[in-house]
């Protein structure tokens, strides 16, 4: 029997249940069977344990281990299995290299991070001349009325490039614009008549098509930005503008949601413009942003170097105003690495080399309590699952080369607060627990030894890093346990979930009288508000349960550092919740104390974002409200920029 969390089945049906050939949707048992068999099929059966399929099936069915949502969605699907959760976009020799890689991976549903520091941008070819874009579409196309205002007739004798109705076709159209700009500019005419109309079923990746309009809008937006920069090198913000235009197009693709990370070095001359990029404009909502700091930064700050002081104060101000930027410590992240890892995936738990992807999954500690033997065995099996996933097909030769070298994986944890409560330990006291620290090390050691042993069997390099902490937003909702290592947000709260406007599941929420409104950030998306009581209240002594606003922010940073020290060799994705009006000096002091020990962190002030994933309510307000409950700690990402799957 599946032990769903309060909203687990609804999240599964919205996010991970695929349509079967007979037109019905998968059950959870169907999905588990597909995922297990699809994963095992990635290597020869000689490299399976005798009972591996049965053991994995049992663990997944009960949510004792949960691979990243990407595995739940596409593992075992016929054809190419794009199993990698996230990627880092490098820059390359040509203008198009970075942007077409970004576009392609976002359309596969992956998140993409990039470092926009001046040291990278100065190597990028400048757009040498303006592009004159014309777009045509047959009047008989089903979406002709929608796309007509975006069209422009081609000049006489123009060469017309017909866009193929595929991900590759869309990427090629973007490449054509960028290559033309790099080569001096000129006329580009594309025909989007062959692109399937809005609402058509996408049988490979899943979901429904967006029609040609988002592509045309993206090409027009990219052309406008490129022409603005013609004759001059792209600045960091120019490059971010281009990536945002691309990401907006992908968001229009229904089941895909663009997730990005933008990072820039603290010593760059235009760093303050980067820090305030999301505060000064409504653009760049498709990305999280973080300032790259390093050992040089901490030395400069201690010495009173003006640039370091200004940057630190500006970031703390941003954190306390709208929750961004975060900090990314590239010196700490580089320990144990062979190459340049100056960027992370969108949620920050994996530092990556250029073009490198990552694979993640989590052990649900709440299912094991004080059973350390069960938890370590689950970590071993999940490690083997992720090592096999490194054999998934990869299209990009640059990416294949770095995967063959690094085989990086991220075995993570969820249900962390419940795990501590099973030992009668409050969240704020976890950092003092010798026993919990030892148990974290035992789980991490089990994963690393399993990775080493399995790599030897398979004849591949040992994964360069093995453990991490990811937010586990949607996947932790399946079992209803706390996400990653976050505490519960509140005992009672409003939980907001985003649906595509044409998602048939929306009707069920409306029928239950739930509040539904258009998404502030994404066209074609609705936000459902659900009154919530966290299920942790049913399972543990209430006097031991602390919610986020009852835990001192410094204690949260200390807990993050505790897990970084005892468990994660990659990084710990973590957002510190602070109350409105929290003192700048107190946050600054805590950050300066813990940042050198961390690979990155973010801060979120309660109530700073419209349509925030969570809003606290009282127990009485919950009892008076209608709707069903859900028990979760954090959303896919604190900024709301992470993908649906």
Q: Which residues are catalytic?
A: 347, 349
Read off the tokens for 173.
Answer: 């159209």
Read off the tokens for 196.
Answer: 């399937």
Measured CA to CA, the distance from residue 570 to residue 18 in angstroms comes to 31
The angle at the Cα of 543, spanning 540 to 546, to the nearest 5 degrees, equals: 85
CA distances in angstroms from 608 to 289, 322, 356, 642, listed in the order given: 16, 6, 33, 18
What counts of helices (H) and strands (E) characterise the chain?
24, 20
Tabulate helix, strand, coil % of the chain (nearest 5).
40, 15, 40
Which residues are CB-contacts of 550 (< 8 A; sequence separation ≥ 6)?
none
Measured CA to CA, the distance from residue 292 to residue 350 in angstroms comes to 14
Measured CA to CA, the distance from residue 310 to residue 299 in angstroms comes to 14
Which residues are CB-contacts of 21 (< 8 A; sequence separation ≥ 6)?
none
424 φψ region: left (φ > 0), alpha (ψ -120 to 50), beta (else): left
Contact at 8 Å (CB) between 223 and 177? yes
Sign of CA dihedral 226, 232, 234, 238: negative
Residue count of the chain: 645
Cis previous bond, 325, omega within 30 = yes
Read off the tokens for 416.
Answer: 């962390």
The owner of tokens 């016929």 is 78
- The helix (H) or strand (E) run that includes residue 58 is helix 52-61
3-class SS string, 102-154: HHHHHHCCCEEEEECCHHHHCCCCCCCCCEEEEEECCCCCCCHHHHHHHCCCC
Read off the tokens for 407.
Answer: 């085989």
Q: Which long-range contacts (CB under 8 A, 24 or more apart) does 13-20 make?
A: 13/505, 14/497, 14/499, 14/503, 14/505, 15/69, 15/72, 15/73, 15/474, 15/644, 15/645, 16/69, 16/72, 16/73, 16/645, 18/73, 18/77, 18/206, 19/206
Measured CA to CA, the distance from residue 57 to residue 133 in angstroms comes to 52
């Amino acid at each position: 029997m599946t032990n769903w969390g309060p909203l687990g089945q609804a999240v599964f049906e919205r996010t991970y249940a695929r349509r079967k050939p007979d037109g019905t949707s998968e059950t959870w048992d169907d999905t588990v069977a597909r995922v297990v068999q699809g994963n095992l099929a990635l290597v020869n059966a000689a490299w399976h344990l005798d009972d591996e399929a049965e053991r994995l099936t049992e663990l997944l069915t009960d949510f004792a281990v949960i691979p990243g949502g990407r595995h739940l969605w596409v593992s075992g699907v016929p054809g190419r299995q794009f199993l990698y959760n996230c990627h880092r976009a490098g820059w390359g020799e040509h203008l198009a290299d970075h942007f077409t890689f970004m576009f392609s991976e976002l359309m596969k549903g992956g998140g993409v991070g990039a470092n926009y520091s001046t040291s990278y941008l100065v190597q990028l070819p400048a757009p040498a001349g303006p592009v004159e874009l014309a777009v045509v579409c047959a009047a008989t196309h089903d979406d002709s009325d929608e796309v007509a205002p975006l069209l422009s007739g081609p000049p006489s004798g123009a060469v017309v490039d017909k866009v193929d109705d595929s991900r590759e076709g869309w990427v090629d159209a973007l490449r054509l614009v960028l290559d033309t700009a790099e080569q001096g500019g000129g006329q580009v005419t594309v025909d989007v008549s062959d692109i399937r109309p809005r609402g058509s079923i996408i049988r490979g990746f899943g979901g429904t098509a967006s029609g040609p309009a988002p592509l045309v809008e993206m090409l027009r937006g990219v052309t406008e930005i490129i022409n603005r920069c013609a004759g001059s090198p792209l600045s960091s913000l120019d490059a971010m503008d281009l990536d945002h235009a691309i990401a907006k197009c992908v968001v229009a693709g229904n089941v895909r949601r663009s997730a990005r990370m933008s990072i820039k070095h603290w010593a760059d001359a235009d760093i303050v413009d980067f820090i305030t990029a999301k505060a000064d404009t409504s653009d760049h909502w498709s990305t999280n942003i973080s300032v790259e700091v390093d050992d040089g930064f901490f030395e400069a700050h201690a010495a009173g170097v003006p640039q370091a002081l200004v940057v630190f104060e500006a970031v703390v101000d941003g954190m306390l105003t709208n929750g961004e930027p975060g900090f990314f410590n590239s010196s700490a992240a580089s320990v144990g690495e062979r190459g340049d890892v100056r960027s992370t995936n969108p949620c920050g738990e994996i530092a990556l080399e250029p073009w490198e992807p990552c694979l993640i999954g989590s052990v649900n500690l709440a299912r094991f309590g004080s059973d350390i033997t069960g938890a370590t065995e689950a970590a071993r099996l999940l490690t083997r699952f992720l090592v096999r996933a490194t054999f998934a097909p990869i299209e990009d030769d640059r990416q294949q080369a770095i995967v063959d070298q690094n085989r990086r994986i991220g075995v993570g944890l969820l249900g962390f607060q419940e795990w501590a409560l099973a030992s009668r330990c409050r969240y704020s006291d976890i950092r003092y627990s010798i026993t919990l620290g030892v148990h974290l090390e035992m789980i991490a050691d089990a994963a690393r030894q399993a990775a080493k042993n399995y790599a030897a069997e398979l004849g591949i390099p040992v994964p360069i890093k093995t453990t991490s902490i990811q937010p586990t937003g949607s996947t932790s909702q399946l079992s209803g346990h706390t996400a990653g290592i976050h505490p519960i947000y509140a005992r009672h709260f409003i939980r907001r979930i985003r649906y595509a406007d044409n998602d048939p599941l929306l009707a069920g929420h409306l029928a239950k009288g739930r509040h539904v409104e258009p998404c502030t950030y994404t066209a074609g998306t609705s936000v459902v508000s659900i009154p919530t009581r966290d299920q942790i209240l049913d399972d543990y002594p209430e006097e031991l349960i602390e919610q986020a606003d009852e835990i001192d922010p410094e204690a949260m940073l200390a807990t993050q550092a505790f897990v970084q020290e005892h468990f994660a060799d990659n990084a710990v994705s973590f957002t510190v919740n602070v109350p409105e009006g929290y003192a700048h000096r107190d946050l600054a002091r805590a950050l300066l104390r813990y940042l050198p020990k961390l690979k990155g962190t973010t801060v979120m002030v309660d109530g700073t974002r419209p349509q925030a994933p969570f809003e606290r309510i009282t127990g009485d307000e919950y009892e008076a409200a209608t709707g069903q409950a859900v028990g979760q700690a954090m959303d896919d990402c604190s900024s709301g920029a992470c993908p649906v799957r």
